[in-house]
Amino acid sequence: MAHVAENLPRAPESAAAARHLVSEALSAWGLEELAEDGALIVSELVTNAVQHARSRSVRVTITRLEPARVRIGVVDKSGKAPWLQEPGGADEGGRGLVLVAGLAWDWGSDPLP
């Protein structure tokens, strides 16, 4: 099972670094067709962690589970699990997890010990 992980600062510019990390990993594994969606997913997850977690860094992981299936993870020290909520029409934010749910085969969160 191939795996890539990197710690990034909890800062807005880390979303771009995470997109690059995902794109590079997927390209190295010959999964370029997943790169656009993967980059958008990790960008939304890192942005969510930057906005809501209070840790100094976030950890981005990309794991190849099957020949054409990967798991993208973003680990932070938040004690609250993310939840999917439908944004209102005038809301400027709140669409990140809606995008993730629409692009990913599945999504969820795991509490840390």
- pLDDT tens per residue across span 72-95: 999 998 777 766 667 665 555 556
The hierarchical CATH code for the domain 3-103 is: 3.30.565
Q: Where are the domains of the chain?
A: 3-103
- Confidence bin at 1 (pLDDT 50/70/90): confident
| Percent of the chain residues past pLDDT 70, beyond the cut | 86
Question: What span, in angstroms and rounded, lies between the C-alpha atoms of 45 and 60?
Answer: 9
Q: In the prediction, which pLDDT does 112 show?
A: 72
Of 16, 38, 42, nearest in space to 26 by CA: 38
Q: When comparing pLDDT for 88 and 100, which is higher?
A: 100
Q: Measuring CA to CA, how many Å separate 83 from each of 5, 66, 86? A: 24, 27, 10
Q: What is the token pair recorded at 33?
A: 């067709």
Residue 54, strand partner residues: none
* Confidence bin at 98 (pLDDT 50/70/90): confident
